[in-house]
Amino acid sequence: METDNCTKLTIAIDGPAGAGKSTVARKVAQRMGYIYLDTGAMYRALTLKAIRLGVDAYDGVGLAALCDQTDIRFTTRAHLQGGQPKVYLDGEDVSTEIRSAPVGSLVSIVAAHPEVRERFVRLQRRIAAGGGVVADGRDVGTYVLPAAEVKIFLTASFAERVRRRHSELLAAGRSVSEEEVSEELSARDRMDSERPVAPLKQAPDAIMIDTTGRTIDETVCQVLAICSRRTGNVVSDC
Ligand code: DC
């Protein structure tokens, strides 16, 4: 697709948990002055509400009904002022709680229901309409925004993803062992890749970046270079 210097790209970044998607996506959005859309946060927020209200994670119809009575909002521009993106569930800031262990262990089950995905995909497309967006998730390039001009599939070796997720959790004050993290990641990988609806897979036109042994900034620069080939703008400081 042809783009010019003023074109606002739609950038889709997909990949497995722990590949560095959210940090890379946020930094790319910051550098480009684009909005950042964390699609996984929607599934996490609904999972949190389901836990609180006792709705079964396997009950797709119940979750869809819950979704219809739920208001999920994001700050899609906070990163532009150097802030952390925030997620609000029915007006309450749940940015930290959606990363908790109970949510992490159920979110893949919640996200596998077509009735739930349908609702969130509609919302994701609405937020991304107009371009100038970096969206990260599992099915952004394959299903949510198939016309995205830039599609990246970010991955890393399993051992590295476990190490990164483990240090993230320790830094957030959670006391978990590397074995527990490894079990959770492999269960999530399996559920996200094997589900029948919008499974995690690389879009045929996505560029794969293996972040094993690379710093976040190196990966950000690589993505920016790919974007600059689309817009013709030169990337500085890389
Ligand atoms: O990216 P994350 O770890 O916050 O995502 C949480 C879960 O949500 C993940 O296990 C799979 C699901 N998810 C999804 O099914 N589709 C997306 N576009 C984003 C996340």
For 110-159, write each residue's pLDDT tens digit. 999 999 999 999 999 999 999 999 999 999 999 999 999 999 999 999 99
Question: What is the spatial distance between Cα 88 and Cα 84, in angstroms, rounded to a whole number?
Answer: 13
Widest distance between CA atoms in the chain: 51
- Tell me which of 5 and 90 has the higher pLDDT: 90
Look up residue 87 and give its DSSP letter: E
Residue 3 has pLDDT above 70, yes or no: no
Q: What is the mean pLDDT of residues 76-93?
A: 90
Q: Which atom of ligand 1 is nearest to the CA of 108?
A: 10
Q: What is the mean pLDDT of residues 2-12?
A: 73
CATH number belonging to the domain at 9-229, selected among 3.40.50.300, 3.30.565.10, 3.30.420.40, 3.40.1190.20: 3.40.50.300
| CB 107 near ligand 1, within 6 Å | yes
Residue 95 has pLDDT above 60, yes or no: yes
pLDDT of residue 6: 64
- Rounded distance from Cα 4 to ligand 1 centre (Å): 32
| Model pLDDT for residues 34-75, shown as the tens digit of each residue | 999 999 999 999 999 999 999 999 999 999 999 999 999 988
- Rounded distance from Cα 195 to ligand 1 centre (Å): 12
Alpha helices in 130-210 (DSSP H): 158-171, 178-194
The dihedral built from the CA positions of residue 93, 56, 125 and 168, taken in this order, carries a sign that is: positive
| Model pLDDT for residues 151-202, shown as the tens digit of each residue | 999 999 999 999 999 998 898 888 889 999 999 899 989 988 998 988 899 9
Return the best residue to mutate from 21, 36, 39, 190 for the ligand 1 pocket (most ligand atoms within 8 A of CB): 39
- Pairing relationship of beta strands 150-155 and 35-38 according to DSSP bridges: unpaired
Question: What is the spatial distance between Cα 135 and Cα 114, in angstroms, rounded to a whole number?
Answer: 20
| CB 44 near ligand 1, within 6 Å | yes
Alpha-carbon distance values, 188 to 65, 165, 201, 209 (Å): 24, 13, 14, 20
Quote the mean pLDDT of the chain: 92
- Tell me which of 230 and 219 has the higher pLDDT: 219
* Domain residue spans of the chain: 9-229
The β-bridge partners of 134 are 11, 36
Look up residue 143 and give its DSSP letter: I
CA nearest ligand 1 atom 5, residue? 40
Alpha-carbon distance values, 101 to 20, 91, 177 (Å): 19, 22, 13
Q: Quick count: other Cβ atoms within 10 Å of Cβ 11?
A: 31
Q: pLDDT band at residue 1, thresholds of 50, 70 and 90?
A: very low
Looking at the chain, which runs of residues are DSSP E strands? 10-14, 35-38, 72-74, 87-89, 92-93, 133-137, 150-155, 207-210
Q: Cα angle vertex 237, ends 145, 161, to 5°?
A: 55
Return the best residue to mutate from 21, 138, 189 for the ligand 1 pocket (most ligand atoms within 8 A of CB): 138
pLDDT of residue 231: 84
CA nearest ligand 1 atom 3, residue? 17
- Tell me which of 3 and 193 has the higher pLDDT: 193
Residue 2 has pLDDT above 70, yes or no: no
H or E element, residue 118: helix 114-128
Return the best residue to mutate from 48, 72, 74, 107 for the ligand 1 pocket (most ligand atoms within 8 A of CB): 107
**pTM score of the predicted model:** 0.92
Question: What is the spatial distance between Cα 120 and Cα 69, in angstroms, rounded to a whole number?
Answer: 13
- Rounded distance from Cα 6 to ligand 1 centre (Å): 31
| CB 188 near ligand 1, within 6 Å | yes
Q: Which atom of ligand 1 is nearest to the CA of 99?
A: 4
